[in-house]
Amino acid sequence: MPRLNMVKALNLALHQEMERDPDIVIIGEDVGVDGGVFRVTDDLHRRFGGQRVIDSPLAEAAIVGTSIGMALYGLKPICEIQFSGFAFQCFHQIENHAARYRMRTQSRFHCQMVIRMPYGGGVRALEHHSESEEQFYAHIPGLKMVIPSGPRNARALLVSAIRDPDPVVFFEAKALYHAGREEVPEEVETLPIGQAQVVRPGRDLTLVAYGAMLRVAREAAEVLAAEDGVECEVIDLLTLSPLDRATLVASVQKTGRAVVVHEAPRSFGPGAEIAASIMEGAFLSLEAPVRRVAAWDVPYVGFAREKAVLPDVARVVDACRETLAF
């Protein structure tokens, strides 16, 4: 079984799905001849040609708007926004149209499309290239919001997103593109959208994370086990919308405590919805308030100072200890 990083795993998913289904097309800035700014679409233009792997102008609204038209026609577009910070230029197309066509036409038409976006910090980049804006898309009815945490589940979730009949926003943490390798089977593999995974069982506290923050949560759990004898149950959400509330509630009913970790700013972020879901489903099991460890509520500072903004292992460990001591 080959060991792939996330870039290669995503490329494998795109290659195999385009071979399987001739209606799949890719469109975006530099996705064709250059193979994408992060090389996720590498070699697809040579293999499938310029009519299926389309280099677009620098126009995000045109990329998504064209993809919506393709989807209504019956194609299955995968569009790439080069960085998630650029997506506000096409947000009206996503919210006003892609998310609404099934309801607008009483299910006569649907938008089967994937909107891929690299997101997040940890790579010392400048503003608009490093933010985490997942909360905007998770809030929109009609969209699905997927955020993988490693090469294998990234490949499997991208296949599921491509095959889903409704629009899927697919966030890829840039910090994870080359962070490590995992065994990824050559045969096609899928994961259900909307289903979280318990990646580390525990009994004392529930740690909830997704994307690049999963690694931070797992490292924090190891520190707590080694230094405090605390066994944290770590949940990888994988999907923000629909949110797997059942897995969250079941875990907190067992542990009685929860800490949520995400890269997006704290106020009105995904952690608030996760905390509310836990309160609604496991209130009588809680032994302490749900804590959130997130980016600070400031415009993204970027470059070397981003370490002062993003959650790290020390902040997560401190939040867990405060929760356990409540």
Reading the block at residue 8, the tokens are: 């290669």
* Residue 151 reports pLDDT greater than 80: yes
Annotation: CATH topology of 197-324: Rossmann fold (3.40.50)
Annotation: CATH topology of 3-183: Rossmann fold (3.40.50)
* Residue 235 reports pLDDT greater than 90: yes
| Pairing assessment for the beta strands 3-4 and 182-183 based on DSSP bridges | antiparallel
**Mean pLDDT across the chain:** 96
Residues of the chain with CATH 3.40.50.920: 197-324
Residue-wise pLDDT for 155-208, tens only, equals: 999 999 999 999 999 999 999 999 999 999 999 999 999 999 999 999 999 999
Residue-wise pLDDT for 264-322, tens only, equals: 999 999 999 999 999 999 999 999 999 999 999 998 887 778 888 899 999 999 999 99
Reading the block at residue 123, the tokens are: 């790579």
pLDDT on residue 302 = 74
Of the residues 129, 139, 178, 262, only one is catalytic, namely 129
What is the percentage of the chain residues whose pLDDT exceeds 90? 93
**How far from each other are the two terminal CA atoms of the chain, in whole angstroms?**
46
CA dist 45 to 30, 56, 103, 313, Å?
Answer: 10, 13, 35, 41
pLDDT on residue 306 = 85
Is-catalytic flag, 178? no
Residues of the chain with CATH 3.40.50.970: 3-183
